[in-house]
Amino acid sequence: MYFTILDVLDAIGTFMDRGGPVLWVIASLLLVKWSLVFERVWYLNTTHRKNVKNTLAAWNARSDTKSWSAHQIRTMMISKVSLDIRTTVPIIESLVVVCPLLGLIGTVTGMIEVFAVMAITGGGDAKSMAGGVSKATIPTMAGMVGALSGIFASNWLKSTIDRDMHLLEDHMPLSH
């Protein structure tokens, strides 16, 4: 049995409706977070490599690499590359932290719906409470999955950036 694109979109829409409006906010946040992660990966593999080559070429073209001013210029060159490569990492880390918080908001809004149904029906209608329970659990799960995957991506980015910066420093000796 083959799924068509419309079947997939319908399944996604049904899932999002079960999770409530907070799930749409979480999905938007995850879209932004993963866009920034992929942008950093793209940057690492394209522009950053060119910047490192240009920085190393400029450093190796210097005749003075021993003086105090040469040391300051080296520090400035390394800082500029470091600043360029780390630009969106704090934003990614902040979005990772926000994911479970939005999941908790989804939990609260879903439970409010459950309590409202319980107040109206006296707690005897389990079928009507099920919608509120799904609106409570699905955003929580989505927020936690988004946070966990974001932690792995963020840590990978930070370790890759740190490794690249150490390599740049090692390839820029203070004397020839």
pLDDT tens per residue across span 23-58: 999 999 999 999 999 999 999 999 999 999 999 999
In whole angstroms, what is the distance from residue 6 CA to residue 153 CA? 31
- Alpha carbon distances (Å) from 84 to 48, 54, 65, 88: 8, 14, 23, 9
DSSP string across 53-94 = HHHHHHHHT-S--SSHHHHHHHHHHHHHHHHHHTTTHHHHHH
pLDDT of residue 126: 72
Given a contact cutoff of 8 angstroms between Cβ atoms, the answer to whether 106 and 138 are in contact is yes
132 confidence band (pLDDT: 50, 70, 90): confident
User: Domain boundaries in the chain?
Assistant: 5-170
Between 42-46, 73-77, 157-161, 172-176, the lowest mean confidence (pLDDT) is in 172-176
pLDDT of residue 136: 85
CA neighbours closer than 13 Å in the CB half-sphere of residue 16: 12
Share of the chain above pLDDT 90, in %: 66
Q: What is the mean pLDDT of residues 6-31?
A: 90
Q: Nearest Cα to 113, choosing from 24, 19, 16, 12?
A: 19
Does the structure show a pLDDT above 70 at 6?
A: yes
